[in-house]
């Protein structure tokens, strides 16, 4: 059997970090994932996928991701059956994240080289032989 899913999309809200009774971190967030095709209206359709991350992955997501940030989530699909407050049977689908990666680069001005260049000459005594 195989239950493996990879999604790339933008967070629709900031992650919500909680802790279980024994202190385990759990983060919930949602990804907006565009479909590869356009619908009848001529516009791309978007799926909104609920994601749950546990332990260190939850802490990582909470620390580095915010609404609008592009993320790549690798994990598994999980279906849960539950009863709502009126006693009706309900089913929810969510992705349990095993790995979360940055889907974009967040560069600040300090990360970009200046117009004058950040190069320096290497003195001859520091030059070594090339490895090829």
Residue 80: what pLDDT?
92
Residue 109: what pLDDT?
46
Q: How far is CA 80 from CA 23, 89, 94, in A?
A: 23, 11, 8
Query: What residues are paired with 49 via a beta bridge?
Result: 31
Taking only Cα atoms into account, the Rg of the chain, rounded to an integer number of angstroms, comes to 22
Residue 114: what pLDDT?
47
Residue 43: what pLDDT?
87
Residue 95 near residue 78 (C-beta atoms within 8 A): yes
Residue 14 near residue 29 (C-beta atoms within 8 A): yes
Residue 110: what pLDDT?
45
Coil, strand or helix at 55:
helix
Query: What residues are paired with 112 via a beta bridge?
Result: none
| 9/31 Cα distance (integer angstroms) | 5
Residue 28 near residue 48 (C-beta atoms within 8 A): no
Residue 117: what pLDDT?
53
pLDDT, block means (10 residues), the chain with 132 residues: 96 97 97 89 92 97 96 97 94 96 71 51 57 54
Residue 67 near residue 12 (C-beta atoms within 8 A): yes
Residue 111: what pLDDT?
46
């Amino acid at each position: 059997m195989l239950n493996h899913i990879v999604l790339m999309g933008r967070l629709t809200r900031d992650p919500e970090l909680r802790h279980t009774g024994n202190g385990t971190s759990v983060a919930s967030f949602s990804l907006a994932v565009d479909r590869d095709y356009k619908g009848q209206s001529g516009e791309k359709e978007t799926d909104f996928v609920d994601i749950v991350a546990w332990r260190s992955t939850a802490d990582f997501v909470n620390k580095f991701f915010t609404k609008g940030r592009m993320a790549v989530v690798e994990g598994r699909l999980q279906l849960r059956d539950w009863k709502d407050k009126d006693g009706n049977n309900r089913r929810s689908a969510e992705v349990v994240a095993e790995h979360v990666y940055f889907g974009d680069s967040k560069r600040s001005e300090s990360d970009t080289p200046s117009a004058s260049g950040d190069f320096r000459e290497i003195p001859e005594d520091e030059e070594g032989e090339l490895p090829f």
